[in-house]
Amino acid sequence: MAGAVSANKLELLQIAYAVAAEKQIDRDIVIGALEEAIQKAARSRYGAEYDIRVQLDRKTGEAHLRRVRTVVEEIENNFTEILPEDAKAQYDYEGEIGGEVSDQLPPLEFGRIAAQTAKQVILQKVREAERAKQFDEFKDKVGGIHNGLVKRVEYGNVVVDVGRGEAMMRRDQQIPREPFRAGDRVRALIRDVRSEQRGPQIFLSRTAPEFMAKLFEQEVPEIYEGIIEVKAVARDPGSRAKIAVISYDGSIDPVGACVGMRGSRVQAVVNELQGEKIDIIPWSEDAATFIVNALQPAEVVKVVLDEDAQRIEVVVPDDQLSLAIGRRGQNVRLASQLTGWDIDIMTEADESERRQREFAERTQAFVRALNVDEMVAQLLVSEGFASLEEVAYVDIDELTAIDGFDQTTAEELQARARESLEEAAQRLLEAARKAGAEEALIHFNGLTPQMVAALVADGVKTLDEFATMADWELAGGYSEGPDGKRIKDDGVLERFDITLAEAQNLIMSARVALGMVDPDALIDLINEEEETEEAEAADEGDADAQAAEAEPDSAADDDASVEVDMSDLSKLSPEELDALLAETEAERAKIEGDEKA
């Protein structure tokens, strides 16, 4: 009878090993599940309050059960704790507090309920181990291409068998009008792998730009070897795509390498993507060149870039407009996605009409303001003068260099321009006073009458209101929207070409003038921040460079220091700045106290 029991135990061990091999999981995980199942059954028999531990012999399958108690100075739980004197008397224990003593328990015979419970525990552990292994297998494959078989289609979503599990390709991640049937082979990008309660969730995509980049990597050895790099991809899945490539070997043409002999390489990618047309474009560091390339096959006559707004104006021949825009705006949309720039397209006729309109408007403005005839005004505009300020304050030699303008004429034009500007300024200031602007704001150093008028129009009428504004409210800027796109934030003084640094200095100067900020404390704070930065730079091994930067102007004026460094502090509200100054004073007092001690 004993031999039969031993055989059964050995058979149980062999079954555990077989399960581990079949499921391709670690043997120790299955043995651990068996031990946990036996432990749970033992607690059901001997009492759940006991600390019962099980160890399974890896050779014989024999389960050794022990009841463990911890040696403590004061007992809180009689079932799991024991006093040192009792441990010495019962177990001859000589160790320290915190040690453990144990009693051997007799072997456990499984009843029907215990066996069922053990089975559930083992199945649960094995299932968890399978899920963990599946997650570990696929988590490092995110961004790679995987082949699988279509298992079924549910409400437009395709369930794919990927070997050790199932993956989901949602309808929006499938190429439009691409049919899938059970048993079809499919190749897709592993877009995401998530560990969830019901097991790892694997999501596939055939519409992601990265999928096309990976397909080219498989077809073009130069990309796989790193000689050619895919810099950007933009796709309209199933219809058209643009891919930008660059070669790090001057002897290899990146576009030709991607196209292949008689188009074999690019054709393989096109066939995989259900006939999606692909434009392969050489990438360039120069934004204008890159954008011109991205708009191919349209020809570009001229481009005008606005780097701050990441916007470019493109001029094309009249007969190329539809080609540049593409069907339903597809070409310009893909070019914008590829380059990351907003692209405005206009024809040569539209640009010529706009130039003529601007020329006429500036001419009439000079005629009215300078009281000159139209011929003189046109000469000024032709020479590039766009505003009265340019005429009034430009070097007089630039005016005398114009054909027909002598010294007397140039001086008279500048005098009239300055007089016109002064009259306009006075009108603006009077309007601002009538609107309720206080004198402190009107006469604040750094604000022109035009700026004051703009502030009043925006509802800023006192120096206190001006001092509590943020730098971007004055100079404008860009923020990121919920969809990741850049959103333009208009500034009150943005049309005066004021920079963020200038806006920051204006705001901080207003706070100092109103007493919101103590200038001396501010200078000390800035100097302490500089010392901290120098110390950190020295720790990183940049002591020589830091010393070279510190040498040139050691006797620099404190006010200049404030002028340079106020920019960062002006981003703080008055309350935040006061708290920062108070914290600095407390830190300084603590340091002085430590030094005295």
pTM of the model: 0.55
Q: What is the CA radius of gyration of the chain?
A: 39
What are residue 306's phi and psi, to 5 degrees? -120, 95
> Which DSSP letter does residue 106 get?
P
Q: Which amino acid is at 562?
A: V
Angle at 85 between CA 84 and CA 89, to 5 degrees: 120
Helix (H, G, I), strand (E, B) or coil at 296: coil
pLDDT at position 244: 93
Q: What residue spans define the domains of the chain?
A: 2-132, 141-205, 352-435, 449-593
pLDDT at position 567: 45
What integer best gives the mean pLDDT of the chain? 78
CA distances from 215 to 89, 210, 223, 463 (A): 75, 9, 10, 61
For helices 407-434 and 348-370, angle between their N-to-C axes, nearest 10 degrees: 90
Helix (H, G, I), strand (E, B) or coil at 226: coil
Residues 6+ apart with CB under 8 A from 552: none
User: Nearest CA to 368 among 330, 423, 293?
Assistant: 423
> Which DSSP letter does residue 159 get?
E
pLDDT tens column, 349-362: 888 888 888 888 88
Helix (H, G, I), strand (E, B) or coil at 571: coil
pLDDT tens column, 376-394: 888 888 888 888 888 888 8
Query: Structurally, what CATH architecture does the domain formed by 2-132 represent?
Result: 2-Layer Sandwich (3.30)
pLDDT at position 197: 67
pLDDT tens column, 178-235: 888 888 888 888 888 887 767 678 889 998 999 999 999 989 999 999 899 999 999 9
Report the CATH number of the 352-435 domain: 1.10.150.20
Between CA 305 and CA 328 the distance in angstroms is 24
CA distances from 218 to 224, 265, 425 (A): 7, 10, 67
CATH topology of domain 141-205: OB fold (Dihydrolipoamide Acetyltransferase, E2P) (2.40.50)
pLDDT tens column, 230-265: 999 999 988 899 999 999 988 889 999 999 888 899
pLDDT at position 22: 66
In the predicted model, residues of the chain with pLDDT beneath 50 are 1-7, 543, 545-567, 570, 597
